[in-house]
Amino acid sequence: FVLKRTDVLVGSGTTADIRAAMSAAQEMAGRITGTRKSDRPRLMVVDDDQEMRGAIADTLRDGGHDVMEAASGEGALRRLERLSQPASLITALNLSCGMDGLELAVTARKLFPGTAILLISDDRQPAGRALNERVLAKPFSADQLLEQVAEMVICSRFAQPSRHRPI
């Protein structure tokens, strides 16, 4: 049995391969059923640059986060609409196709009030500050990303009443 996860084929043979295959299968099952095993905050990473998106997602996964990925703003919104639990949004400001990161942030905020958003920008004075959103300027370190996400997740838990968490 072989699962394709990103650009790497995962098969049997080593413990790492088996763990990776099991993790991929659990993730796939969660997507199909709309449930998930983890109580960890879910993060949606949006960037049209596959390498950048993958690097950010891998860093967040290594930091213990539950991560989903999308290559476009439209794709991210479609995935967010299908979730049974809210997700925080991490998006590049400059997306080349369709809506840009700022439009995505505005739309996500309207559709999913209280959504925590982190904008990633090449610009030192990004437009995202006008929306009062968190902004992380490139280049940034893994530690800076994880610190911003931790603050974002903590603030969003206290700022919004969640209909998804038990009372």
The per-residue pLDDT for 54 is 94
The per-residue pLDDT for 131 is 63
Measured between alpha carbons, how far is 148 from 127 in angstroms, rounded to an integer?
18
Which residues in 6-139 belong to E strands, given as ranges?
8-10, 42-46, 66-70, 87-92, 117-121, 134-137
The per-residue pLDDT for 163 is 40
Measured between alpha carbons, how far is 167 from 164 in angstroms, rounded to an integer?
9
Measured between alpha carbons, how far is 103 from 52 in angstroms, rounded to an integer?
20
Is 48 in contact with 57 (CB distance < 8 Å)?
Answer: no
The per-residue pLDDT for 155 is 77
Burial class (CB in 10 A: 0-12, 13-18, 19+), 94: middle
Q: What tens digit of pLDDT does each residue of 79-103 get?
A: 998 887 778 999 999 898 889 999 9
Measured between alpha carbons, how far is 3 from 132 in angstroms, rounded to an integer?
41
Ramachandran area for residue 51 (φ above 0: left; ψ -120 to 50: alpha; else beta): alpha
The per-residue pLDDT for 56 is 95
Q: Which residues of the chain are under the pLDDT cut of 70?
A: 1-40, 124-132, 156-167
The per-residue pLDDT for 109 is 87
Measured between alpha carbons, how far is 60 from 46 in angstroms, rounded to an integer?
13
